[in-house]
Chain A
Amino acid sequence: MTEGSNYDYLFKVVLIGDSGVGKSYVSLAFLSRFTRNEFNLESKSTIGVEFATRSINVDGKTVKAQIWDTAGQERYRAITSAYYRGAVGALLVYDIAKHATYVNVTRWLKELRDHADSNIVIMLVGNKSDLKHLRAVPTDEAKAFSTENGLSFIETSALDASNVEGAFQTILTDIYRIVSAKSLESSSTNIEPPTQGISVTAPEPADKGGKCC
């Protein structure tokens, strides 16, 4: 788990979802590896883009995740293309205590279809699972919706950091599997990095992927 430039793969993962669902918390909880109640309850609203990286280990490979977090209020037309460019994963976050944020998930999916790579790996994240008494979105419903739309699904609580690590671990592993499968495919005909499908932001992973078999 080294930071810096020693990594095998570099994946860009974006966080999307309505304003106030806790995207920044999820990102923060992952990036700073908080365990429980370690961070301030109040956080500022995100303006524009936040950006950070963290490396994790997947199947013995070092995967560096670039986490992009953006404001939820508007689909920032100004930064849309920059935001989604090269993204291989998306965490679509909603608030389990606010049904409206769940309803808007379809709008965010449309946004992804419009602007992101068609092979982007999407994970639906029901955040604030600590607010059990206020739950407005049943877990089963969200799970069924995810299966229907080919998304993976998880419920997290950024507050006590439960499942946050798991969420990122899952999506990064999924991406890794797809990417290495792609490299396997392409390696039979071509040692060059895959140029279509899931796009990998750094050249290194593809090279290694090509050689590893």
Chain B
Amino acid sequence: MEGTPVSTSESALTEAFRRLFSSGLSFTRIKDEALNDRLLSKAGSNSNEAPSISGRSIAWKLFLAKHEPLQSSSTPRAASLLDGLRKSRQRYTRLLEEKTKPPDKRLAEPPTVGKTVTDSTRNVNLNNPLSLHNENPWSEWFAGLEVKQTISQDVERTFPDMPFFREAEIQNQLTNILFVYSATHSRIGYRQGMHELLAPLYYAVNFDAVGEHASVEHELREICSRDWVAADAWALFDAVMDGVSSWYEWREPDPRLVLQEQQGPLSGHVNLVIPDGRHGIQAWVAPIVKTCNYIQNDLLKKVDPNLWAALQKAGIEPQLYGIRWLRLLFTREFDMTDTMKLWDGLFACDPSLALAQWVCVAMLLRVRTELINGDYSSQLTSLLRYPSPKKSKLNDAPTHTCLLLQHALTLQMSPNPSTAATINMENRALLDIDSNVQEPPASPRRRPQVSRQAQSSFIPVRDRDTNHPGHSRQASSPPLGIPEMLARGLLERGESLGINKTLLSAVSELKRNIPDISAFVKTPSQGSSSFPLEDEHTIPERPPWEPKSRLEVEREMEAFRRRDKRLGEALGWIVDTLLQDEESVKDVQALRRRRGEAVESLAYIRDVLISDPAELEEDRLLKGNSGQQPPEKVGTSQAEEPESSLQQRDRPTVIEPPTIAPIAPPLPVSVVDSGSGRKISRPPPATQFSPNVSVARRPASGGADMSQELAKSAPWNRTKSDFNRPTTTVLPRKPPPTSSGRQDSKSVDKSREFDPLGAVEYK
């Protein structure tokens, strides 16, 4: 393609290629990097401007590859990607030949033995441009010309502000690709919008394209071959359409096709009959409408009932905005640069693009204020002219697309109002989005809340009825404490992000940061009143299922905090090891070995912080530490062992409960106790704790004599320690269910195990 306005930097491309294929990154890591907008910016050009990032098309080819199922643990291989590309290139060439050549040109193939004379291609009565016969290949050809005209009408209007798409040759290629797609997917054909889905794909492939004589590795040259730009763009488009095409379906499938595809002739109809108030019975509802309804009336309703109610009240039909958002995968809502970043994450997450629905929900949450405060016109305006996001206030903050992806993922994992509240706060904090929802409803809200409290969240009804002093105290404090904890968890996460970066930068800075880490491990005991989230949590319409979901988030935060603590502890010995003076040690070799191990553990900590795995591998975290253990303990292979020895060394004066924890009773016992009030019948096994520890840790089981103790310790303190105790026991072998939100039945079970406040008693 001569005269393309973009110039490919070969070195940047090579760098991206190596990063993908020869840096030893696993698929999981690559996906994570893509999600966090780190995959390409490092390797790519220095500017984040424009969509000029080298190597993006390789990553997309990798994510969307149909031939090789992504093995999350393995590393991608360029050879297998290339195999797939070769096949798809051949296929495109063949299809292009087949679908775009007029029938008389196709006659050129020699007659095959066994074909009868009545074969339609040989029969001149059938096969001539003027024949009116149904099987005349020319009628298909002429119909194709019409489609082509429709396509080029849109292609000419593709991204009018980008000179790249004004070139006749590019437009020609785009038209061909779309035509081949429509010819091979006759049920959908070509629909407006596909052109805009294809354009960024084509742009990215073309941007990375290199000529035959480019001075890059052989495999890279073939993957990014300039000769195959159109074929590769078609392959990507075809793969993307696998996820998107249903949203373009616009006519009822041919009953004959339905017959073929489904077991019985009726199943398709029976399932799809949905009465429509205006037109009587409609046999078929377009999938896009179903999806849009699902997004607004199921997903959004679940995570933000207030916002849903506002849209519902105004009568906003979800397909009004959903059609464009989904069919174009947000190209109109964001500019090209941001769209491509968003696509990085979408493709990386799931080639079927299931995440897109949650991106829609996250986008709705982002304009929540306008939607709740506005009237019908302004609501529609916000949705149909989606406001471009403000620049983030913080320098280090993730880009808004990145944030959107994270939000979508979080929502997907734990779809509940707490997540939405957290997201709203993050939006306000990072994107400076005004979250002042109209005040009037706020004050009347408060009053019903008190009476509702019993059913609404954390206090079992019968506990309130018993009027036990200990219980009534518990009844009043946790509802205040929990939102604060939640939010603090969020802030800590943000904080930890900042810290993580510093950690990555240099080992020498480690020491400086460790106080920060321990500081945020301890934050639950710090200032609480500044928390502005209360409105979000005193919603009168709180549905009965919310306590569980709130707990889930709480648990997630707790898991974060716990993990961070573990990391902090591990960093402790790493730093100690690294700071040890060679002269002061006799066995220099051993020290060096330990240092090596410390660096390995450090690398693992980095990986944990970047990729955020569900569970920590303790042995990798404490790799070298075992060497420091006293000789008599070396033999023990208990997972708790390294941790306890570590803590004893670091803080010899403080007796940490976790060290005793292994023999503590399982938590479910204590939950049952506090819930049913039969605390005396099963006294806490206090013999295993020092007295003050057991008081602080088991507030619910204490009598009136403990109230002083309780008054001193804030509710979250108690909560935290209750969390801490059993989980440190469990952690090494059984990770906490941080992301099990999707499997509701399971998460309920787990919440019984982990529930410190007895809230699940409600269920």
Contacts and interface: CB of A to CB of B under 8 A. Distances in A.
A78 B192 CA distance: 14
Interface residues of B, number: 38
Interface string B121-158: 00000000000000000000000000000100110111
Nearest to B160: A42
A74 B192 contact: yes
Interface in A17-59: 19-20, 40, 42-53
B159 A79 contact: no
Contacts of A40: 160-161
Contact of A48 (B276, B327, B377): B327
Given A76-B323, A79-B323, A49 B250 contact: no
Contacts of A104: none
A47 B193 contact: yes
Contact of A77 (B158, B250, B332): B250
A43 B157 CA distance: 6
Given A66-B377, A81-B278, A42 B157 contact: yes
A51 B279 CA distance: 25
Given A40-B160, A73-B150, A73-B191, A78 B278 contact: no
B241 interface: no
B160 A49 contact: no
Nearest to A64: B377
Nearest to B251: A77
B380 A47 contact: no
Nearest to A52: B381
Interface stretch (B50-58, B314-322, B476-484, B529-537): B314-322
B472 to A, nearest CB: 48
B562 to A, nearest CB: 46
Interface string B245-261: 00000110000000000
A19 B149 CA distance: 12
B289 interface: yes
A13 B193 CA distance: 24
B196 interface: yes
Contact of A78 (B150, B156, B157, B323): B323
A71 interface: yes
Given A45-B154, A47-B327, A79 B320 contact: yes
B709 interface: no
Contacts of B381: 51-53
Contacts of B276: 81
Main secondary structure of the interface of A (DSSP, over half): loop
A104 to B, nearest CB: 13
B612 interface: no
Interface in A66-86: 66, 71, 73-74, 76-79, 81-82
A73 B276 CA distance: 24
Interface in B448-468: none
A48 B320 contact: yes
Contacts of B639: none
Contacts of B150: 19, 73
Interface in A94-124: none
A188 interface: no
Interface string B161-202: 100000000000000000000000000000111011000000
A79 B317 contact: yes
A52 B384 CA distance: 9
A47 B328 contact: yes
A5 interface: yes
Tier of interface size on chain A: 20 to 34
B744 interface: no
A139 B289 CA distance: 40
Nearest to A201: B376
A40 B166 CA distance: 14
A179 to B, nearest CB: 19
A129 B321 CA distance: 32
Contacts of A66: 377
A82 B319 contact: yes
A49 B157 contact: no
A52 B382 CA distance: 10
Contact of A47 (B196, B292, B385): B196
Contact of B192 (A52, A73, A77, A82): A73
Contacts of B193: 45, 47
Given A44-B157, A51-B380, A81-B278, A71 B192 contact: yes
Given A47-B328, A48-B327, A81-B278, A53 B319 contact: no
A47 B192 contact: yes
A49 B159 contact: no
Contacts of B323: 47-49, 76, 78-79
B384 A50 contact: yes
Contacts of A74: 191-192, 250
B634 interface: no
A82 B316 CA distance: 9
B534 to A, nearest CB: 30
Interface in B644-684: none
A78 B153 contact: no
Contacts of A73: 150, 191-192
Nearest to B155: A45
Contacts of A20: 153
A48 B380 CA distance: 13
B321 A43 contact: no
Contacts of A50: 384
Contact of A45 (B157, B292, B321): B157
Nearest to B379: A51
Contact of B324 (A43, A47, A77): A47
A16 B450 CA distance: 53
Contacts of B321: 48-49
Nearest to B153: A20
B331 to A, nearest CB: 9
Contacts of B292: 78
Contacts of B328: 47
Contacts of A81: 276, 278-279
A38 B150 CA distance: 27
Given A43-B157, A74-B250, A79 B384 contact: no
Contacts of A78: 250, 286, 288-289, 292, 319, 323
Contacts of A79: 317, 319-320, 323
Nearest to A69: B384
A81 B274 CA distance: 15
Given A47-B328, A48-B327, A74-B192, 10 more contacts: A5-B375, A19-B153, A42-B156, A43-B160, A44-B332, A47-B332, A48-B321, A49-B384, A53-B381, A78-B250
6 contacts: A44-B160, A45-B192, A47-B193, A47-B196, A73-B192, A78-B250
Interface of B: 150, 153-154, 156-161, 191-193, 195-196, 250-251, 276, 278-279, 286, 288-289, 292, 317, 319-321, 323-324, 327-328, 332, 375, 377, 380-381, 384-385
The 3 closest A-B pairs by CB, nearest first: A42-B160, A48-B323, A48-B324
